[in-house]
Chain A
Amino acid sequence: GENVEQHPSTLSVQEGDSAVIKCTYSDSASNYFPWYKQELGKRPQLIIDIRSNVGEKKDQRIAVTLNKTAKHFSLHITETQPEDSAVYFCAAGRSGGKSTFGDGTTLTVKP
């Protein structure tokens, strides 16, 4: 089955700095890569996703890049704000299948 590794497990940045979280996957058939944000005590919610026919996608301060050859994808958050503090999960999946989640990254943005 699919195996997703996520790094780092914890990340602390100063407000205004950028944050980068990286994930690798094992199944070359995976073609959907979502990122979920989970605030403390809340449910995970999708913040951005990318499909395998696209190399990069951007939405305001967040962006995701995908390298199919190397089987890794990354989340980039620019101009971080305290409200970006949360746990971020990457996932990988394919049509007709299920998503496999990474173990999560706890991001702390210090004011």
Chain B
Amino acid sequence: NAGVTQTPKFRVLKTGQSMTLLCAQDMNHEYMYWYRQDPGMGLRLIHYSVGEGTTAKGEVPDGYNVSRLKKQNFLLGLESAAPSQTSVYFCASSPTGAGYTEAFFGQGTRLTVV
């Protein structure tokens, strides 16, 4: 099993450009999450999904959109990138909700916005 896979691993964007980060999981998990990790600030939840076709806002949703058209995929979109969105992004999945069970993380995407 691959677990949770993120694409791409690295990306440099110019301010105002758009991009989509893809997260794929092969564990048949219901819940999926997108976090951003900044130095000294831990993991902050951007958006999450409790099942196919559902999405919800986390702590820091502004400037991001998400979609979960298929159970195994969770996409994170940046419509107009800003330097403040420079960060490492982690996708995670869990079978019954990360508030109750282990979350499995992808390898991360390092995004730089110049």
Chain A residues with CB under 8 Å of chain B are 1, 6, 9, 30-32, 34, 42-46, 49, 89, 91, 93-104
- The count of residues in chain B whose C-beta lies closer than 8 Å to any C-beta of chain A is 22
> With contacts A43-B108, A89-B43, A103-B42 known, is A97 near B102, CB below 8 A?
no
Q: What is the predominant secondary structure among interface residues of chain B facing chain A?
A: loop
> With contacts A89-B43, A101-B43, A103-B41 known, is A45 near B98, CB below 8 A?
no
> With contacts A89-B43, A98-B33, A98-B48 known, is A45 near B105, CB below 8 A?
yes
Complex contacts, A9 vs chain B, CB 8 Å: 40
B101 nearest CB across to chain A (Å): 7
Chain B residues with CB under 8 Å of chain A are 33, 40-45, 48, 58-59, 90, 97-103, 105-108
Assembled-state Cα–Cα distance A45/B4 (Å): 12
